[in-house]
Amino acid sequence: MNLAYKIKDIFIEHNGIYSELIIKIILNNKGNMVSQTKIARIIKIFKLYLVTRIKKM
């Protein structure tokens, strides 16, 4: 399976909550050595957006 589709599957599986760093840790634990910058580029290509939380005061 292609690296880009692995990243997309992880991103969608966790509802866009996981950032590039957490996706990098997951992929490194599975044996795929990938940089955080490359993951960010792939996420940008697929136009996937992270869920941001607004801090309430």
19-56 confidence digits (pLDDT tens): 888 889 999 999 989 999 998 888 888 888 877 777 78
- Better-scored residue on pLDDT, 17 or 33: 33
Q: Is the pLDDT of residue 1 over 80?
A: no
pTM of the predicted model, to two decimals?
Answer: 0.76
Interval 6-15 mean pLDDT: 87
Task: Tell me what pLDDT residue 25 has.
Answer: 92
Q: Residue ranges of the domains in the chain?
A: 3-45
Render 3-51 in DSSP notation, one character per residue. Answer: HHHHHHHHHHHTTT---HHHHHHHHHHTT----HHHHHHHHHHTT----
35 and 24 Cβ atoms separated by less than 8 Å: yes
